[in-house]
């Protein structure tokens, strides 16, 4: 399973379109981690053939029907999907880690900090793709119920080296 992860688009979608255009082959899911979910609606309209899920963030004053958090099974990997602000991710990842553990999740996706991050702690992968508003994004591959790779990338450096 190949997943594109975007966060914090903040109405700056140019790079998000380029990222999806370059990475869409073999893509099973695009996840948007909030700020701004209206952008997710625009992406869904542009790419009706792709599957999208998303959550609202702290700057989504109108949620447009999106939850603050989802817990999904992604090809056998139980995953917490949130923006992260409600777990204080700018200070520490501990609250998010505990939350993921309490939900028996081995993957937690979050945004909010605008800083790409991938930490494996106590069996949980905590993954932030950074801010798509400046071309940061993530690609996750899940194979046979395991995280095969979780990479944070920057569009200006990536420029279509499709994986």
Domain 2-158 coded CATH 1.20.120.640:
no
Confidence grade of residue 158 (pLDDT, cut at 50, 70, 90): low
Average pLDDT, the chain: 94
The secondary structure of the chain in percent helix, strand, coil, rounded to multiples of 5, reads 25, 35, 45
Supply the pLDDT for residue 155.
84
Residues 52 and 30 sit within 8 Å (Cβ to Cβ) = yes
Asked whether residue 62 carries a pLDDT value surpassing 90, the answer given is: no
User: Once rounded to an integer, what is the mean pLDDT over residues 5-28?
Assistant: 96
Supply the pLDDT for residue 161.
60
Q: Is the whole model's pTM more than 0.75, yes or no? A: yes
Q: What is the pLDDT of residues 90-111, one digit of tens each?
A: 999 999 999 999 999 999 999 9
**Tokens 């993954």 belong to residue:** 127
> What does the alpha-carbon distance between residue 128 and residue 132 come to, in Å, rounded to a whole number?
11
Write phi, then psi, for 65 (nearest 5 degrees).
85, 5
Question: What are the structural domain ranges in the chain?
Answer: 2-158
Percent with pLDDT over 70 in the chain? 96
Coil vs helix vs strand at 31: strand
């Amino acid at each position: 399973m190949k997943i594109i992860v975007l966060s914090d688009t903040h109405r700056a979608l140019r790079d998000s379109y380029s990222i999806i255009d370059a990475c869409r082959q073999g893509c099973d899911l695009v996840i948007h981690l909030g700020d701004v979910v209206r952008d997710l609606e625009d992406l869904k309209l542009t790419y009706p053939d792709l599957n999208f899920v998303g959550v609202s963030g702290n700057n989504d004053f109108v949620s447009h029907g999106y939850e603050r958090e989802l817990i999904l099974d992604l090809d056998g990997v139980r995953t917490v999907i949130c923006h992260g602000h409600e777990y204080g991710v700018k200070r520490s990842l501990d609250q998010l880690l505990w939350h993921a553990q309490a939900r028996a999740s081995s993957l937690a996706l979050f945004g909010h900090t605008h800083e790409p991050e991938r930490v494996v702690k106590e069996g949980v992968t905590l993954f932030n793709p950074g801010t798509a508003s400046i071309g940061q994004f993530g690609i996750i591959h899940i194979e046979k119920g395991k995280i095969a790779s979780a990479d944070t990338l920057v569009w200006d450096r990536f420029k279509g080296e499709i994986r």
